[in-house]
Amino acid sequence: MKRWFLPAVLAVLLLDATAVVQAREKTPAQAGEKVPATAGESVLTQAAREQTQTYERARVREKAPDGTGCTIEKHTHVFAVKQNDTLRLDRYAMPASGGVTRPCMVFVFGGGFVSGRRDDPNFRSFFDYYVQKGFVVVSIDYRLGMKQAIASGTRDRDSLAAAMATSIAMAAEDLCDATACICAHAAEWGIDTSRVVTCGSSAGAITVLTGEYGRCNGRPEARRIPEGFRYAGIIAFAGAICEKGDLHWEQSPAPMLLFHGDADRNVPYDKVTYEGLALCGSRHIAQSLTEHNNPHWFYSVADTNHSMAWRPMQENRDEIDTFLEKLVFERQPLILETRVRPLDAEPQPSEFTLSDYLETNYGH
């Protein structure tokens, strides 16, 4: 199998994109749309929830912040209500033209499962770039499990490790619910469900990788998406998969683009285990995909920390575009590997324990 080695320009860019949004709230009846059901919810429960739940729909027309003058519409929808959490998604798209369906990029923010926003203005230039390339971009909420765990008094290593596994599963479930909502509204929103790509940063990267891993292996959360649905591609900025034991794939996964720095102290670059639980980073995932001849692109940067969780959104759009064109839409059966070594970077430690990761992320 051919491997490509591509150069990369490594520079730190500051993101500066703001959007002023004026939104109106409507009930489901006013919006003329039905609130999506939560998987496993009875018809009576759903009906009762539809009577009381406010369905947000924000519609905004604005010029793209990059000065191109393109008009981008933003719509906000509630896709699930779980206990005290109302989960929303923002949909960014060019004005619809009749009957045309477009690929969709589903974005999941990062923040250690304790913080982060789907509408963080730092993401906006990335969203607008792909909207202008013909995508519908959907940025989603998910429940912040570690925030809840820490607020409840979780502090010791064993409890934090267990809470992390639970938080990842919760986020993956919410991604599946958002995906189900997108599929349910695909005709209305002009989305081609055969070309839905997920993309995530840090905790969001863990979420999109876990969502696809669960779909491949028949995990319960994957039953929330329509039968037969497959993601077209996965883009992970410094992500990992949590598993008991080693990785396995009952079905072949979607093509993956894996960015990671080998000195990342927030998310494992390779693999860390604790009490039978493994957190498998991009290098380990790439090795597993290679062993199974599954198309992917592993983009590794030496002596680089967790900044690969956000830098590719500005610095590596060419690589992302190539991945989408070649591996996703043309379905070329390729395994690609890019290894970048910045000559001006100071050597950084790269061997960490679970305690190191917990300390960096949660101060314990």
> pLDDT tens digits for 206-226?
999 999 999 999 999 999 999
pTM: 0.83
How far is it, in rounded angstroms, from Cα 263 to Cα 1? 28
Phi, psi of 57 (to 5 degrees): -140, 105
pLDDT at 30 over 50: no
pLDDT of residue 157: 79
Residues 64 and 70 sit within 8 Å (Cβ to Cβ): yes
The angle at the Cα of 200, spanning 197 to 206, to the nearest 5 degrees, equals 110
Residues 6+ apart with CB under 8 A from 334: 1, 2, 4, 295, 297, 326, 327
- Can you list the pairs that 117-120 forms with residues at least 24 positions away whose Cβ atoms lie under 8 Å? 118/88, 118/89, 118/90, 119/19, 119/21, 119/90
Which of the two residues, 158 and 205, has the higher pLDDT score?
205
Domain borders along the chain are 25-362
pLDDT of residue 357: 87
pLDDT of residue 97: 72
pLDDT at 275 over 90: no
pLDDT of residue 158: 81
Look at the block and give the residue holding tokens 């790509």: 197
**Tens digit of pLDDT for each residue in 128-167?**
999 999 999 999 999 999 999 888 887 777 888 889 999 9
Q: Which CATH class is domain 25-362?
A: alpha beta
Count CB neighbours of 133 within 10 A: 14
The predicted model gives 35-42 an average pLDDT of 42
**Tens digit of pLDDT for each residue in 167-195?**
999 999 999 999 999 999 999 999 999 99
- Tell me the residue type at 55: Y
How far is it, in rounded angstroms, from Cα 125 to Cα 144? 25
Beta strands 256-261 and 233-237, pairing class? parallel
The predicted model gives 89-98 an average pLDDT of 89
Phi, psi of 21 (to 5 degrees): -115, 125
pLDDT at 236 over 90: yes
Q: Over the chain, what HEC string results?
A: CCCCCCCCCCCCCCCCCCCCCCCCEECHHHHCCCCCCCCCCCHHHHHHHHHHCCEECEEEEEECCCCCCCEEEEEEEEEEEECCEEEEEEEEECCCCCCCCEEEEEEECCCCCCCCCCCCHHHHHHHHHHHHCCCEEEEECCCCHHHHHHHCCCCCHHHHHHHHHHHHHHHHHHHHHHHHHHHHCHHHHCEEEEEEEEEEECHHHHHHHHHHHHHHCCCHHHHHCCCCCCCCEEEEECCEEEEECCCCCCCCCCCEEEEEECCCCCCCCCEEEECCEEEEEHHHHHHHHHHCCCCEEEEEECCCCHHHHCCHHHHCHHHHHHHHHHHHHCCCCCEEEEEECCCCCCCCCCCCCHHHHHHHHHCC
Give the mean pLDDT of the chain: 84
pLDDT of residue 245: 84
**Tens digit of pLDDT for each residue in 2-22?**
333 333 333 322 223 333 233
Which of the two residues, 362 and 292, has the higher pLDDT score?
292
pLDDT at 107 over 50: yes
pLDDT at 50 over 80: no
Q: Which residues pair with 199 in a beta bridge?
A: 107, 235
Phi, psi of 108 (to 5 degrees): -125, 120
pLDDT of residue 69: 60
pLDDT of residue 253: 98
Q: What percent of the chain has pLDDT over 70?
A: 81
Q: How confident is the model at residue 99 (pLDDT cuts 50, 70, 90)?
A: confident
pLDDT of residue 63: 52
User: Nearest to residue 142, comparing CAs of 189, 207, 211?
Assistant: 207
The predicted model gives 259-272 an average pLDDT of 96
